[in-house]
Structure 1
Amino acid sequence: MSPRATRYAGILFIGDPHVCASPPGFRLDDYGRAVMEKLRFCLETARQRECLPIILGDLFHVPRDNPNGLLVSLMELFRDEVPWVLVGNHDKHEARLTRDVSLAVLAAAGVVRLLEDAGPVEVVCVAQRRVLIGAAPDWTRLPDRVERNGVDCVIWVTHLDLRFPGYEAGKTDLREIPGIDLVVNGHIHTPKPLQVRGGTMWANPGSIVRISRSVQARDTRPAVVIWRPGAEGLETVPVPHAPFHEVFPPLDEGYEESRETVDESMFIRGLENLAIRKTSEGVGLRSFLEMNLNREDPVDRLVYELYEEIMTDG
């Protein structure tokens, strides 16, 4: 591969690779080899089309204890292109990006550009346009507005539970964010149609791998998307993949598609974060419950009443 570009013709977005040496879930194939081939295809496509490659979180399926051979293979693959990598929930150990997680090792080796903080990242030149790229990694918030400061376009990459139509597990509504032209989200594995809210377009290209044995996975065609200035929408580039029946056992007869959900409850992940930043007075927990519980829901109301009872008795 040639040295990575400093000026680009576009941006290529890669959804949740979930790199892992062992097959996750019900996968029957050589998953480690398959996902590396997909990443190689993505980076080669980015090189050929002169695109900046951005991975939308969850580069790894498990945060730590990945084999050294796997890390070396990723270093060799990433060394020339140096993709930008957003931090996802699977990349963190106990809800934190610690120095001993695999993603931190790649960052220390200089083979990835790590996007671990929320906010503006950098202005890059794309087809002679000044493009501000911002980030909202796992468990952060989108900005209310962004000052453009003379740039031609603003793109935000996210790893969040966004409420796309048909995705009932979403926690954050799509809305116009003044100053942001495009939001490209990871985390939700199933591709979603583009949505427009005012001057902000929302995209969710989906994961380049299929983890779950489900109707959604059976019907999904993994792909990456490319953004170019002036183009209408995003270009979809299919990622080579094996047929569903070669990757998973057959779905049971009469299998019914369940409601699409993320692999981890945002509520549980929030409690994990609280466990790290806990206070003896329970103030953090009270604030968390007030933000996440619906007092009109009987179950949520019971949870809050139990909290108040415990704190009062204490």
Structure 2
Amino acid sequence: MPQPSTTDRIHRLVPSPAGRTHLVEQGTGPLVLLVHGFPESWYSWRHQLPALAAAGYRAVAVDVRGYGRSSRPEAPTAYRILELVEDNVAVVKALGEESAIVVGHDWGANIAAVSALVRPDVFRAVGLLSVPYAPRGGPRPSEIFAQMGGDEEFYVSYFQEPGRAEAEIEPDVRGWLAGLYAALSADTMPAPGAPDPHFVSPGGAQRDRFPTGRLPHWLDEHDLDLYAGEFERTGMTGALNRYRNMDRDWEDLADHDGAPISQPSLFIGGGRDASTTWLADAIAAYPTTLPGLLSSHLLDDCGHWIQQERPEDVNRILIDWLTQVTSDK
């Protein structure tokens, strides 16, 4: 695979329902829209942009609403998932295309999945990294999260109150990000049996359980500076507001309860990622929920930041899948 290069990346600001979406584009060919998760940016796809471009694709990585140079509406309700789907649609149209293949990681996987679910006219295939597709259903999400952890608080519940997580993170954005990235990376995550960084002790902070002392192998000081610099400039509220709309998403998607995604699909997970172990039942249900699944992979000894921890493997799998999708067109 080609080494990452900045020489032919194009940065653009395009109109979107929130105002603008910042994107980074590389290559020509069928459009592949890359959607990042929390707490990241377009930069989390830095290894995929040149590889997909070299393979004959127009690779476009966006800053999701609330991140980076994209618009950051003040109203928390502006971050419900259907709003982010419309941002994705606006990007496709602004680039002069009628359709795209959408690939997402972490929250981006959820955004990509819902994009394919509700706008199959625009998104003709969907790739999901780290977070499996689980159709809307069951109790209200906040009720589920409140029951997790016993006396401890699940991080999603911890993020709900506006300003609370910001007060922990924003005084030391760089240190917090370094700790979270390390906590969920295969080579630096806490040992089995150690306190789980997905939970917060009563009266404590999430960072209390983060490892310290070294960065994961995929993250150097320059990378960390770039991530931290963006969040120091924008603050964390836009990113955290995604978590604060999970109940609204559940309400908004009521008409899609239990709905499968029928387009050609892909899943790649990390073998040591909590997302794949907690949601193992969702992966097992893929024959029903992703009937168009062409390829599914669990990468051994890989954590959550999959396309950065194992870029060569992810690029190979992505390109093999994209070849199938585009050759079937």
**Which TM-score bucket, shorter chain as reference?**
under 0.3
Larger radius of gyration: 1
Structure ranking higher in helix proportion: 2
> Bigger relative contact order, structure 1 or 2, given CA contacts below 8 A and separation 6+?
2
Q: TM-score, normalised by structure 1?
A: 0.26
Structure ranking higher in strand proportion: 1
Q: TM-score, normalised by structure 2?
A: 0.25
